[in-house]
Structures are given as C-alpha cells and as structure tokens.
C-alpha cells in the first residue's frame, strides 16, 4: 500500500476519477417510461444504467477499467516506475477515447437522460484533462536529468565565491 502513496498526484487523481466513473456508471443514466392501455396505471417507468442500451457505455467502461489497471500496475509491480512521458501519453490517449465513447453514449441514447449521465460525462472530461496536464508536465521535463542536489552538512561552511584576479589595472 505504501507504493500507492508514492505515486504522483496526477496518477492518484486519474485512479480516483476512473473508479468514480465506473461506480457512477451504475447510476440511472436514463429514465424510460412506457404508456400502457391499463386504466389503473397508465405509465410504467424504469431506468437504465450506462452499461445498458447502446454498446458505447460498455466500451467506455472497458476503457475506464484499462486506465485504472494501467495506473495500478506500478502499485502491484513496484519494478515498473511508469513515470516517464510515454506512459503519460498512453494514459492521455486512453482518456481521450474514454471521453469520445462517453459522448457517443450520450448521443446514441439521448432520450430521457437524467443528470447522472451528465455527471458521468463531467467525470470523464476531468479524467482526460488531468491526463493531458500530466502529459504536458512530463513533456516539459522529459530531457531533464533526475538529480537531487546534496544538502550541505551542518559543520561545512557554504562555498565562497572566487575573488577576482589581482592584476594591474591602471586607472
């Protein structure tokens, strides 16, 4: 569990948003009502989750699960550091596809949508933005060596600046 807390903040946010989206997709994204000819109850209503209806919800859930597993790999296999920019690019690409399939789910099943569908779309967008910001950060620092400056010891004085060379200046 300690290796989870050593992960970068972006990775933890992506993991949290991915799990939240998978859970939120169980909420009723559509409220479907059918009109019957029965005199006692003229309408029969029910709800559908994001996993039901068109297959785009299943594709989005699959991509979200892949992103969660991708982000959990270094936690379960500590030898995988996965801190470079290529790893961030893979996560960003998967998250763009996730937003695309979530949007397709909203377009395909656009009748009787509830606010849960829009919350799911907002979570998918937040996940994508976090992944893209992480790519931008990793891209900017991709060629910088990972060096840690050694801290001076308590008894050692700081290095002094060199004195200018004494020379003959005629003024």
Average pLDDT, the chain: 79
CA distance linking residue 81 with residue 65, whole number of Å: 20
Which candidate, 124, 112, 114, 125, places its Cα nearest to that of 27? 114
CB 5 within 8 A of CB 58: no
CB 36 within 8 A of CB 42: yes
The predicted pLDDT at position 85 comes to: 74
The predicted pLDDT at position 168 comes to: 59
Neighbours of 91 (CB within 10 A): 26
Neighbours of 34 (CB within 10 A): 9
The per-residue pLDDT for range 18-50, each reduced to its tens digit, is: 999 999 998 888 877 777 776 666 666 777 888
The predicted pLDDT at position 167 comes to: 63
What are the extents of the domains in the chain? 2-140
The per-residue pLDDT for range 115-125, each reduced to its tens digit, is: 888 999 999 99
Domain 2-140 has CATH 1.20.58: no
The predicted pLDDT at position 48 comes to: 80
60 φ/ψ sector (left φ>0, alpha ψ -120 to 50, else beta): alpha
CA distance linking residue 122 with residue 118, whole number of Å: 6
Query: Cβ neighbours of residue 139 under 8 Å, at least 6 residues apart?
Result: 85, 88
The percentage of the chain sitting over the pLDDT mark of 90, rounded to a whole number, equals 30
The encoded tokens of residue 83 equal 């801190």
The predicted pLDDT at position 113 comes to: 82
């Amino acid at each position: 569990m300690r290796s989870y807390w050593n992960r970068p903040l972006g990775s933890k946010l992506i993991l949290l948003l991915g799990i939240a989206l998978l859970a939120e997709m169980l909420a009723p994204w559509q409220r479907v009502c059918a009109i019957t000819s029965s005199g006692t109850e003229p309408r029969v209503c029910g709800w559908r989750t994001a996993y039901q209806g068109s297959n785009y919800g299943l594709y989005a859930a699959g991509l979200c699960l892949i992103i969660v597993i991708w982000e959990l790999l270094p936690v379960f296999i500590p030898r995988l550091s996965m801190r470079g920019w290529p790893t961030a690019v893979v996560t960003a690409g998967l998250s763009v596809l996730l937003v695309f399939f979530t949007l397709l789910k909203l377009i395909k099943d656009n009748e009787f949508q509830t606010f849960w569908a829009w919350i799911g779309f907002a979570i998918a967008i937040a996940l994508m933005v976090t992944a893209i910001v992480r790519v931008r950060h990793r891209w900017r620092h991709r060629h910088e060596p990972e060096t840690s400056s050694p801290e001076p010891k308590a008894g050692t004085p700081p290095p002094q600046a060199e004195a200018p060379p004494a020379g003959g200046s005629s003024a």
